[in-house]
Amino acid sequence: MPWYDPNHLVELNICAKMITFTSKSKLANIMNKILLGTALLLAAPPALARTLTPEEAMARATTDTPAKMRPFCNASPVLTLTGKYGDLTTYYIYSTGASALILGADDLSRPVLAYLDTPVTADTQLPPQMTWWLEQYGKQIEYAEQHRDEITFADAPCREAEGRNAIEPMLQTAWNQAAPFNDLLPDGVVTGCVATAMAQVMKYHNYPERGKGTVSTQYGGSTLSMNLDETVFDWDNMLNNYPSDNLGTAEQRNAVATLMKACGYSVKMDYSTTSSGASEYGVCPALLNNFGYDTSMYLHTRAWYSDSKWAEILYESLDAGCPLLYSGLGRAGGHEFVCDGYRTDGYFHFNWGWGGVSDGYFALSALTPEIQGIGGNYDGFNSSQSAVTFIRPPQEGLTCPEAVLGVTGGLLFTFSGRTATVYGFIYEEDFPGHFQNISPTDGIFDFAFVISDTAGSTETIDIGGEFKVPSNYTFEWISADMPETVADGSYRLTMAYSISGTDNWKPLQTYDEDNLYAKIHVIGDDIYADGSRHTRFSEPTTALSQGQPLTVSVKASFQDSYQDAAVDRLRAALVDKNGYELASTDYTSAIMGSYRTETMQFNGGPLSEDIATGSYTMKLVDEWGDTQFTWTAAVGEGGVDETADDSSTDTQWHDLQGRKVSRDNLAPGIYIVRAGGRTAKVRL
């Protein structure tokens, strides 16, 4: 039976206008009203980043996707806008008479950031939603520049879009927030982006015939109410477009204004004449309770998913014929809009709810899969995004989604005897995280240890639970004993959960999938974390000579403040320039104390006489095949000139790397000795 601290079961308080995350985690940002936190895609950069000229940006885009760019270039595009974030030039907008492209202006960025359905001129008022989106792109370029030393690059090209079909934009509407959409609202207040986005998705489905219940909101010190039971939605009289020179008939205006009013009141819109806002957390209850949409809809928060999983979630909703509501967090206010299409090259189509202005296909993720090592949450940018998927009229056989348990960041395991205590932990920030029921459904969860030995055999060990976690509640840790049936050995350990009473075990949901496990060593009545990840290796001493035993010593300093003790179990291997392993020592184990330094000694058999003399790479390898430390060492000629016991002070002793060493207390091995004008290799 696992233990948890009931005093740390904490609710994420959700109010109409403010969402306060009570966890200490940096991911638990304060949100007020609805905003978008998406940014645009960065491509793998060259060695040194720089700002591109407009001509260079266009040339790069043309080289990257010549077939797609050719028709655009043939239409004589003109540079109409240059985007900046602080001192950084981040994008260029080129436009023809029919469409526009947003090109990356920094060679860290993707060549083409977006394909717009409409042209952009110097007088075009860009949608605030898209302006904010591009600002986030600038933030991420800046962040990538500041963390350039952490960036690594995958060898394989991006293939994230393989196997997906194109989905043409589903919405036919190009609605906005002013007249005639706000005709039934007081004092000319605008409808708000939440209401406009909801209304466009509902128009796509032409559902429902009428609403349910009474909805209300506050404005100017008064309560505004609307009886939805008596409100019939006139779908046939709602036009796809209401151009400024022809806002439609009275019936056509009233039809769309009635829908906008119902949507706004249902989410308790905070109305004003310049901008109207509402909480994203009011959308699902309104669609379910007031408009009768299917219970299979789901509000996903971007921070819980990897880039590839997030794209998969959005695509699955679109592939099912369900446009989705996309939202997030920003400084100057909130924006919600609709994602309704997909291209096979990985771009998603967005309808900004701005009368069709700048609708188009935009890159979704912050960084491409080729760019790695910066950290899964990109300084919190992704934490501000969310999406409501599978919005559709009631479907026979569909049920409310089951509860999902997530963790902010990865997992941190600590051990006492055979008891394992597991915490959420944000590794890129070295900061505690938490566990959370991230679904709209209350859950009762069971837990399991999942262990895999070094041969790859996996076992799932049910440790019980029946732990009730309401929707959006968090807890900090869970603890359980490892059964005695787990034999001594080395394992990879992670945790899984299931809905109580089932055996459908699932991994915890997170964006940081690489840190969901620990390497452990079970030794008798104790479990030790593998310490290699947090050990600083230094001062290697290597004896490498043809036909002689491989002998290595390395200083190991354990740097983990979260573990009282850990085990380093490693072997030393000699590899050639192609990475082929030529020789290896046996495994050596050392129990490491927190911030304690040990000298690890590695011994192996004789090196083959066929190994040529020269410079090679030595590496320390753990039982899972992961390299923990590398250095350069030289292989010398075979043979030993003599066996030495000479302790003369006139004799100079050197290791096989040529470094001078003291004769006193030398470890057994082979050394170079110089005395009386004579040099020899000797074995102690």
b/e per residue 547-577 (b: at least 16 CB within 10 A): ebbbbbbbebebebeebebbbbbbbbbbbee
Q: Where are the beta strands (DSSP E) in 202-275?
A: 214-219, 222-227
Average pLDDT for residues 56-63, to the nearest whole number?
88
Question: Tokens standing for 143?
Answer: 């962040």
Asked whether the predicted pLDDT for residue 19 surpasses 60, the reply is: no
Name residue, tokens 């308080």: 13
Q: Is 528 helix (H, G, I), strand (E, B) or coil?
A: strand
Question: Per the structure block, which two tokens stand in for 270?
Answer: 């905070």
> At 254, is the pLDDT very low, low, confident or very high (cuts 50, 70, 90)?
very high
Is the pLDDT confidence value at 340 over 90? Answer: yes
pLDDT at 636: 87
| pLDDT score, position 369 | 34
Are residues 145 and 109 in contact, defined by beta-carbon separation less than 8 angstroms? no
% of the chain residues with pLDDT over 70: 83
Q: Any idea where the domains of the chain sit in the sequence?
A: 6-14+402-528, 532-635, 642-683
User: What residue ranges in 214-367 does DSSP mark as E strands?
Assistant: 214-219, 222-227, 298-301, 324-328, 336-342, 348-351, 360-362
63 compared with 36, residue with greater pLDDT: 63
**Residues 628-650: what's their mean pLDDT?**
68
Residue-wise pLDDT for 644-661, tens only, equals 444 445 677 777 655 678
**SS3 of residue 56 by DSSP:** helix
Q: Please give the structure tokens belonging to residue 40.
A: 């645009």
Distances in Å between the Cα of 332 and the Cα atoms of 283, 328, 572 are 21, 12, 56
Taking the alpha carbons at both ends of the chain, their separation in whole angstroms is: 56
Q: What percent of the chain has pLDDT over 90?
A: 46
Identify which of 637, 629, 568 has the alpha carbon closest to the alpha carbon of residue 598: 568
Whether the predicted pLDDT of 15 surpasses 70: no
Q: ∠ CA(420), CA(627), CA(454), 5° rounding?
A: 50
pLDDT of residue 590 exceeding 50, the answer is yes
Looking at this protein, which amino acid is placed at residue 351? N
pLDDT value at 383 more than 50: no
Tell me whether domains 6-14+402-528 and 532-635 share a fold.
Answer: yes
What's the whole-number mean pLDDT along residues 435-439? Answer: 89
Element (H, E) at 459: strand 458-469
| pLDDT greater than 60 at residue 448 | yes
Q: What is the pLDDT of residues 41-53, one digit of tens each?
A: 333 334 345 788 9
pLDDT tens digits, residue range 270-284? 998 888 888 877 898
What's the mean per-residue pLDDT of the chain? 82
Q: Which two tokens stand for residue 361?
A: 């296909």
**Which range, of 154-158, 219-223, 428-432, 670-674, averages the lowest pLDDT?**
154-158
What tens digit of pLDDT does each residue of 604-616 get? 988 888 899 999 9
What is the predicted pLDDT for the residue at 375? 40
Which tens digit of pLDDT belongs to each residue from 670-684?
Answer: 777 777 666 666 777
Collapsing DSSP to helix, strand or coil, 41 comes out as: coil
CA gap 627, 619 in Å, rounded: 7
Task: Return the number of other C-beta atoms located less than 10 Å from residue 299's C-beta.
Answer: 17
Q: How confident is the model at residue 122 (pLDDT cuts 50, 70, 90)?
A: confident
CATH number of 532-635: 2.60.40.10
66 has pLDDT over 90: no
Give the single-character DSSP code of 277: B
Which residue would you say has higher pLDDT here, 472 or 170? 170
Residue 234 pLDDT exceeds 90: yes
Residue 425 has a pLDDT of: 86
How wide is the angle at C-alpha 250 spanned by C-alphas 244 and 254, nearest 5°? 90
Q: What is the 3-state secondary structure (H, E, C) of 132-170?
A: HHHHHHHHHHHHHHHCHHHCEECCCCCCCCCCCCCECCC
Average pLDDT rounded to a whole number, residues 529-551: 88
Minimum mean pLDDT among 63-67, 251-255, 414-418, 474-478: which range? 63-67
Lowest average pLDDT, out of 208-222, 368-382, 456-470, 507-521, goes to 368-382
* Reported confidence tier of residue 150, pLDDT bands at 50, 70, 90: low
pLDDT recorded at residue 275: 81
Give the CATH number of domain 6-14+402-528.
2.60.40
Token digits of residue 198:
């909801």
HSE toward the beta carbon, residue 231, CA cutoff 13 A:
27
Please determine, for residue 439, whether its predicted confidence score (pLDDT) is greater than 90.
no
Copy the structure tokens of residue 48: 């040194």
Strand partners, 506: 497
